């Protein structure tokens, strides 16, 4: 069964360094209300709900069950959760809609990194035998990738700085971004990456609503149709990979149909400046593609929401008529370990 | 708005993990100062070795010994080592392709500064003094200026060609304990902070849902039925009714309470759902549904120690049946 499925609404919090006056559900709930309001739907009208989050970020076991309080899950709703970025929750919701079991889906994700030390927390997702006992933090692993890129002659520090500067300049127009406007590159965090090459650590949430066929047309003036979506993963051994490339991103893009026609916009989930350079090459994005007009992950990086934000931002540009065909990308794990690519289109104007 | 409450929260999880045959041989080998790799179907040598081919997913069992010397394939200078990392002084992270291997292994490289490190430089393993069969048996790598192929002390000279190895060692390591500790600063959010502040005054405060009017105690900020914020604060209790209970017969670790004792759901007067508490001041076999109770506070406590009978007549079942 083939169905046309679209992103019909998107909402996000302001992303901030800390939100310690709010619990996770208190941070998330206004976003859920906002995204529902945009479509006029109520919880009871939603066919399927799927969320993405990670208990390790804030150190709260089963935090997603408490977050579900913000949905209003009674009478019992059809619901699922992934311990991943919300982009993968969206993937699950998309497949659910494809089966015809539901016509609408609410997808949300949230992350509160402020209570913990996120560089340490992320070491716990690594191979527990050969990597985790060394506690190699997320910036260090990204720095190994950046150095490989420099050694290969595909980037230098000014090129990395240019990515950082463009991202934060673009974020000036994004009221939700955490880092807006130019700032110095700063000192090395882990050489060759400087403060400016790294994402801000912060808290935030995002939500989108998906709808199928005529339902989507009724709920949104210009739906962002998901023409294809796919996700692929690299071998887990870092030393097995060519860190200057992202073959899994390229394969996901192929399966999502990204190369069938040019895109005008790309929202890339590149937490580090060097990773945007890897992704541009892997995804074959030319200079005519508008990359990360939202400011991207270098301007706001609420973990578990940052990938869903890319899909939401790309869809919102289509809703507003600022894009006709956009690529949205989400990543997970060290050095672009796992990659999801979605291709979104608006109806011809 | 009351001040934001914060408290340290430490999460520790020492997982005990079993090893497959390849990982077991590799980690036991490190204990014996031997670095093993595994050969794939297409002839490549993976170090560190994997149980399955990363491309074809075939079982890999063809072990080989490689040299403890190698070449840096990429690196990153870490000026501020973090807890748990291999060295306490600034060091380089490095991916090192050992002589005889086709893939690289991640570890620390001890060097005086970033100017002393470059991709392509030669390094060798520095073994930990105490080795247990873990990746940390390699203390780190260190710069190596000697002859390329034999940096290892010991009986066997190692050549750049990987040599077959049967993976057999006396007393092989079959598992590891992966210690982990993460530190957080916990803050409970708006609704729970207000609840905890009130408890400090020995008052129990819940929040009412603006749509269904249910009063949640303790409040979590949202009505799970309606999906809206609870905002109106409502003081409940102090007295309440036992709605249901159980008799605990097994003493919990670190709990200084004699068994058997009764643990109950208690609906405080005015609350829309029951909370949990221990019942004291009455023999355990006389506790019953409908028993009226009140909180007992101990000095400096932030919450009631337990609940005891008030002496009132029992509550009628119809008054609490919706709260079961």
- Domains in chain B: boundaries: 7-178, 191-323
Res B253: pLDDT = 81
CB contact under 8 A, B93 and A190: yes
Res B151: pLDDT = 45
| Cα A18 from Cα A15, distance rounded (Å) | 9
Q: How much is the mean pLDDT over chain B?
A: 92
CB contact under 8 A, B182 and A59: yes
**Residues 6 or more apart whose Cβ sits within 8 Å of residue B266:** B240, B241, B242, B243, B274, B275, B276, B277, B293, B307
Q: Is the pLDDT of residue B301 over 90?
A: no
Q: Is the pLDDT of residue B46 over 70?
A: yes
CB contact under 8 A, A25 and B75: no
Domains and CATH numbers, chain A: 5-117+200-219 (3.40.47.10), 122-199+225-345 (3.40.47.10)
CA distances from B76 to A1, A149, A237, B72, B116 (A): 49, 12, 18, 11, 12
On whether the CB atoms of residues B218 and B229 are closer than 8 A, the answer is: no
CB contact under 8 A, B134 and A66: no
Instruction: Residue B47: list chain A partners with CB under 8 A.
Output: 239
| Sign, CA torsion A235/A238/A241/A247 | positive
Q: Is the pLDDT of residue B80 over 90?
A: yes
Interface probe, candidates A17, A23, A110, A238, chain B, greatest B C-beta count within 10 A:
A23
User: B14 touching A, CB under 8 A?
Assistant: no
User: B50 touching A, CB under 8 A?
Assistant: yes
| Cα B94 from Cα B96, distance rounded (Å) | 6
Of A26, A117, A136, the CB nearest to B190: A26
Q: Pick from B180, B130, B178, B136: which is nearest to B18 by CA?
A: B178
Mean pLDDT over B27-46 rounds to 97
CA distances from A26 to A23, A34, B63, B128 (A): 5, 14, 54, 49
Residue with tokens 């659910």: A96
Q: Classify burial at A157, counting beta carbons within 10 Å of its beta carbon; exposed 0-12, middle 13-18, buried 19 or more.
A: middle
pLDDT in single tens digits along all 349 residues of chain A: 589 999 999 999 999 999 999 999 999 999 999 999 999 999 999 999 999 999 999 998 888 998 999 999 988 999 999 999 999 999 999 999 999 999 999 999 999 999 999 999 999 999 999 999 999 999 999 999 999 999 999 999 999 999 999 999 999 999 999 999 989 999 999 999 999 999 999 999 999 999 999 999 999 999 999 999 999 999 989 999 999 999 999 999 999 999 999 999 999 999 999 999 999 999 999 999 999 999 999 999 999 999 999 999 999 999 999 999 999 999 999 999 999 999 999 999 8
| Cα A279 from Cα A198, distance rounded (Å) | 16
Res B2: pLDDT = 62
ipTM summary value: 0.95
Res B146: pLDDT = 67
The Cα angle at residue B63 between residues B61 and B68, in degrees rounded to 5: 150
Mean pLDDT over B235-254 rounds to 93
Q: Residue B214 — φ and ψ, nearest 5°?
A: -70, 145
Residue B90, Ramachandran bin (φ over 0: left; ψ between -120 and 50: alpha; else beta): beta
Q: Is the pLDDT of residue B150 over 90?
A: no
A227's tokens: 């023409």
CB contact under 8 A, A68 and B224: yes
Terminal Cα-to-Cα distance of chain B (whole angstroms): 34
CB contact under 8 A, A128 and B86: no
| Cα B32 from Cα B168, distance rounded (Å) | 11
Res B254: pLDDT = 78
Mean pLDDT over B89-108 rounds to 98
Q: Which of residues 42-81 of A touch B (CB under 8 A)?
A: 43, 56, 58-60, 66, 68-74
| Cα B305 from Cα B308, distance rounded (Å) | 10
Interface probe, candidates A16, A44, A51, A134, chain B, greatest B C-beta count within 10 A:
A134
CB contact under 8 A, A69 and B55: no
Instruction: Residue A188: list chain B partners with CB under 8 A.
Output: 77, 79
| Cα A63 from Cα B167, distance rounded (Å) | 44
- Residue pLDDT, tens place only, B191-218: 999 999 999 999 999 999 999 999 999 9
B32's tokens: 């014996």
Q: Are strands A188-190 and A193-194 parallel, antiparallel or unpaired?
A: antiparallel
Of A22, A56, A129, the CB nearest to B176: A129
Closest approach of chain B CAs to the CA of A132, in angstroms? 8
| Cα A305 from Cα A87, distance rounded (Å) | 8
| Cα A213 from Cα A199, distance rounded (Å) | 37
Q: Which of residues 16-45 of A touch B (CB under 8 A)?
A: 20-26, 29, 32-33, 43
On whether the CB atoms of residues B161 and B143 are closer than 8 A, the answer is: no
Closest approach of chain A CAs to the CA of B127, in angstroms? 15
The CB density around residue B288, as the number of other CB atoms within 10 Å, is: 11
Interface probe, candidates B11, B23, B66, B74, chain A, greatest A C-beta count within 10 A:
B74
- Percent of chain B at pLDDT exceeding 70: 95
Q: Is the pLDDT of residue B156 over 70?
A: no
Model confidence band, residue B153 (pLDDT cutoffs 50, 70, 90): very low
Q: Is the pLDDT of residue B148 over 50?
A: no
- Residue pLDDT, tens place only, B245-298: 999 999 888 778 889 999 999 999 999 999 999 999 999 999 999 999 999 999
A146's tokens: 């950046």
Q: Residue B31 — φ and ψ, nearest 5°?
A: -60, -35
Res B256: pLDDT = 82
């Amino acid at each position: 069964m083939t169905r046309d499925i679209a992103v019909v609404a998107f909402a996000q919090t302001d992303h901030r360094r800390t939100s310690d006056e709010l619990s996770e559900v208190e941070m998330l709930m206004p976003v859920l209300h906002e995204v529902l309001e945009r479509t006029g739907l109520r919880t009871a009208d939603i066919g399927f709900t799927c969320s993405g989050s990670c208990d390790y970020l804030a150190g709260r076991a089963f935090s997603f069950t408490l977050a579900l309080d913000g949905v209003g899950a009674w009478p019992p709703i059809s619901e699922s959760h992934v311990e991943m970025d919300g982009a993968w929750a969206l993937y699950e919701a998309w497949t659910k809609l494809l089966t015809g079991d539901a016509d609408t889906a609410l997808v949300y994700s949230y992350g509160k990194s402020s209570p913990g030390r996120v560089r340490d927390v992320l070491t716990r997702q690594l191979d527990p035998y050969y990597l985790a006992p060394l506690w190699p933090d997320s910036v260090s692993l990204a720095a190994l990738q950046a150095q490989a890129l420099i050694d290969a002659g595909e980037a230098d520090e000014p090129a990395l700085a240019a990515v950082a500067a463009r991202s934060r300049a673009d974020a000036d127009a994004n009221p939700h971004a955490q880092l807006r406007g130019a700032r110095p590159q700063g000192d090395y965090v882990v050489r060759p990456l400087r403060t400016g090459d790294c994402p801000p650590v912060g808290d935030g949430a995002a939500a989108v609503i998906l709808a199928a066929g005529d339902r989507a047309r009724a709920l949104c003036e210009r739906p962002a149709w998901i023409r294809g979506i796919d996700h692929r993963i690299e071998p887990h051994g870092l030393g097995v990979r060519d860190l200057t490339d992202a073959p899994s991103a390229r394969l996901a893009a192929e399966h999502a149909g990204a190369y069938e026609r040019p895109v005008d916009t790309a929202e890339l989930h590149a937490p580090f400046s060097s990773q945007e350079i890897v992704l541009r090459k892997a995804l074959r994005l030319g200079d005519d593609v508008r990359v990360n007009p939202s400011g991207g992950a270098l301007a706001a990086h609420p973990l578990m929401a940052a990938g869903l934000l890319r899909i939401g931002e790309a869809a919102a540009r289509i809703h507003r008529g600022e894009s006709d065909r956009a690529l949205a990308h989400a990543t997970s794990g060290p050095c672009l370990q796992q990659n999801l690519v979605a291709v979104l289109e608006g109806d011809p104007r | 708005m009351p001040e934001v409450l914060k408290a340290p929260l430490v999460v520790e999880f020492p997982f005990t993990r079993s090893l497959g045959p390849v990982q077991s041989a590799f980690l036991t080998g490190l204990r014996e100062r031997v670095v093993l790799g595994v050969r794939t179907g297409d002839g490549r040598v993976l170090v560190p070795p994997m149980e399955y081919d990363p491309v074809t997913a075939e079982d890999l069992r063809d072990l080989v010994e490689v040299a403890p010397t190698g070449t840096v394939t990429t690196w990153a200078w870490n000026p501020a080592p973090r807890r748990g990392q291999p060295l306490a002084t600034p060091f380089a992270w490095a991916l090192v392709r050992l002589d005889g291997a086709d893939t690289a292994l991640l570890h620390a490289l001890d060097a005086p500064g970033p100017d002393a490190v470059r991709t392509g430089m030669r390094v060798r393993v520095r073994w930990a003094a105490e080795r247990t069969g873990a990746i940390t048996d390699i203390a780190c790598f260190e710069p190596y200026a000697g002859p390329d192929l034999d940096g290892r002390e010991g009986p066997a000279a190692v050549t750049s060609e990987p040599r077959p190895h049967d993976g057999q060692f006396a007393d092989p390591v079959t598992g590891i304990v992966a210690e982990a500790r993460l530190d957080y600063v916990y803050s409970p959010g708006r609704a729970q902070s207000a609840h905890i502040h009130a408890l400090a005054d020995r008052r129990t405060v819940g929040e009412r849902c603006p749509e269904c009017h249910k009063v949640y105690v303790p409040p979590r900020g949202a009505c799970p039925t309606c999906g809206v914020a609870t905002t109106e604060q409502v003081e409940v209790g102090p007295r309440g009714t036992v709605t249901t209970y159980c008799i605990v017969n097994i003493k919990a670790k670190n709990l200084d309470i004699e068994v058997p004792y009764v643990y109950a759901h208690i609906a405080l007067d005015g609350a829309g759902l029951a909370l949990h508490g221990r019942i004291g001041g009455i023999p355990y076999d006389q506790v019953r549904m409908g028993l009226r109770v009140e909180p007992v506070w101990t000095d400096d406590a932030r919450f009631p120690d337990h609940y005891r009978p008030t002496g009132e007549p029992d509550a009628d079942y119809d008054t609490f049946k919706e709260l079961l």
